Amino acid sequence: MENKPLARKLGALVVLSEAELGVLEGLHRRRRTFVAGRDLVHQGQSDQAAYILISGWAFSYKLMANGERQIVDFQIPGDFLGLRSVLLHISDHSIEPVTDIEVTEVHVSDLLEAFSQTPRLATAVMWAASRDEAMVVEHLVNVGRRNAAERMAHFLLELGARLTLVRLGSREGFACPITQYLLADALGLSAVHVNRVLRQLREAKLLTFRDGFVGFENYDRLAEFAQFDPTYLDQGGPLLPIDAAR
Amino acid sequence: MENKPLARKLGALVVLSEAELGVLEGLHRRRRTFVAGRDLVHQGQSDQAAYILISGWAFSYKLMANGERQIVDFQIPGDFLGLRSVLLHISDHSIEPVTDIEVTEVHVSDLLEAFSQTPRLATAVMWAASRDEAMVVEHLVNVGRRNAAERMAHFLLELGARLTLVRLGSREGFACPITQYLLADALGLSAVHVNRVLRQLREAKLLTFRDGFVGFENYDRLAEFAQFDPTYLDQGGPLLPIDAAR
DNA sequence: CGCCTAGTTGAGGTAAGTCAATTCACGTGG
DNA sequence: CCACGTGAATTGACTTACCTCAACTAGGCG
């Protein structure tokens, strides 16, 4: 149970049968660990497997010629790593663990076999992939059209909502191993400005970020400030029979 | 032939058999037209079909509470409209035609049936979807980490490459119905600044944008200036038998 | 003890935004 | 046929959000 955040995530949106849970479980055979800071997937690398993140945090990013990077998204327990790359011959981004992480390696063949056994599971996984894409779209809106403070607030609210789905967060806040430098690369800001913006939000009594913990001081006011509308995270579940409970 | 840009796009990456082309053709039954400026899909709308764009341009965007918008991507002939929304109950974005457009409406059931008839087609379509996602990721990098001039150059180079795939562009340039206001909303800039940046690029003899035509004055120098690396657009094709020619 | 990384703050610079005025092409109706 | 309105592009003057450089603090760890 503690080690099945994916089941918990999918289960929050679809009622999974015992059989489906069993198939899902079967995907978690090849367990591996990676240490913080060492890429598991390199931009340009081909022929790689996908992973399901069990514990710890990672992030996917693109490197620019001048050495700067843009973080596309952070991955938390229950998320896939490199799912899209499996469809393509070449990974167009890199993935690096923020902390030491535990993952299970999934080969395309395993995944396809699991799908053929339980089509509902296939839909659920494709739903998860669509949700990932919707998040990237929202990040684009974030970076393109929100100022630094709103951007920060929106980003942390999204993370909080995602973590809540796998019981690692709540409306109070969440434990967060991200440094201000990583935040800067995710939000398209400089590290210095990230620091200033965090102070600003703290002084406005909206949120705190200290000692690896994000605290929502006033969730509702913060959500309004950031124009945070979480429908893109939780679209009522995939196209499944109506018996799918919420 | 003129009205099958999708076949041309997929065909550029996968060798499609006569049978597969036939199935693809079968998807183009319900033809419809929409006029410029009138949304075909509304943010928050549910129960919508997907479309394949035959002629004309459209764009997908998200609207913010304050009335600003962020354009996520432009769609050109051969592209799907709202493919992701089909998997989700609710569309998280809106789609508006730039020009009058012709589309064919595709129901999920048609698509699934086509897939079951020809699995290779399914893979090809999923490849196209992955490519769309890779483009959104690249737009995020663009807006997050490139300055206005590089951003503009990169964006127009990407459009040029995509249009070339469906024979609507070349290394010389392409016809482009986009206004500077739309450009601004796509690049996260103000319309005024878009104008200044275009002047700057023109004076640097890199590209021109006049009277609805984008001209690449010096393609190679422009590509270097924008750090344009098109691998994310053309990943060597989907996971198909090696007989897929390039 | 001293180094390294993360965080913090100040001073000053700059890319891009805002506001506003002008031009031009175009359609449309008196 | 011309007056008028409208949408797009253009340019100038001024403002500002964010960046860069730089210095300093505090904790962790060999």
Query: What's the pLDDT score for residue A47?
Result: 67
Using a 7 Å CB cut-off, which residues contact strand C?
Answer: A 179-181, 191-192, 195-196, 198-199, 210; B 147-149, 188-190, 192-193
**Residue (of B185, B37, B46) closest to A239 by Cα position:** B46
pLDDT digits (tens, 9 = 90+) for A35-83: 999 999 888 887 678 999 999 999 999 999 888 999 999 999 999 999 8
Query: What's the pLDDT score for residue A237?
Result: 53
* A138 has pLDDT over 50: yes
Sequence ranges of the domains in chain B: 5-131, 147-226
Residue A117 burial (10 A CB sphere; 0-12, 13-18, 19+): middle
Rounded to whole angstroms, how far apart are CA atoms A92 and A88?
9
Q: Measured between beta carbons, which residues in chain B are less than 8 angstroms from residue A127?
A: 87-88
For B169, phi and psi rounded to 5 degrees?
Answer: -155, 175
Residue A82 burial (10 A CB sphere; 0-12, 13-18, 19+): buried
For A64, phi and psi rounded to 5 degrees?
Answer: -100, 165
Q: Distance between the two ends of chain A, CA-based, in angstroms? A: 20
Stated in angstroms, how far is A70 CA from C14 C1'?
22
Q: Give the CATH class of A147-226.
A: mainly alpha
Q: Token pair of B102, please? A: 């012709």
Residue B17: which residues within 8 A CB-CB, separation 6 or more?
A: none
Contact A72, A136 (CB under 8 A): yes
* A235 has pLDDT over 80: no
Q: Across chain A, what does the average pLDDT equal?
A: 89
Reported as type and span, the H/E element at residue B157 is helix B148-165
Residue A15: which residues within 8 A CB-CB, separation 6 or more?
A: A243, A244, A245
Best of B115, B123, B139, B145 to disrupt the A interface (most A CBs within 10 Å) is B145
Best of B45, B94, B140, B147 to disrupt the A interface (most A CBs within 10 Å) is B140
Stated in angstroms, how far is A183 CA from D19 C1'?
16
Record: contact B87-A133, CB cut-off 8 A: no
Q: Which residue has the higher pLDDT, B182 or A124?
A: B182
Query: What's the pLDDT score for residue B235?
Result: 59
Record: contact B134-A84, CB cut-off 8 A: yes
| Total-model pTM | 0.93
Q: Measured between beta carbons, which residues in chain A are less than 8 angstroms from residue B237?
A: 89
pLDDT digits (tens, 9 = 90+) for A197-206: 999 999 999 9
Which positions of strand C lie within 7 Å of protein CB atoms? 5-11, 15-20
Four-residue CA torsion sign, B128, B225, B139, B53? negative
Query: What's the pLDDT score for residue B113?
Result: 85
Rounded to whole angstroms, how far apart are CA atoms B120 and A18?
32
Rounded to whole angstroms, how far apart are CA atoms A162 and A138?
14
CATH superfamily for A5-131 is Jelly Rolls (2.60.120.10)
Give pLDDT tens digits along chain B (246 positions): 456 889 988 887 777 888 888 988 888 889 999 999 999 998 888 867 899 999 999 999 999 988 899 999 999 999 999 988 877 777 889 999 999 999 999 988 888 888 888 888 888 888 888 899 999 999 999 999 999 999 999 999 999 999 999 999 999 999 999 999 999 999 999 999 999 999 999 999 999 999 999 999 999 999 999 999 998 887 555 545 434 333
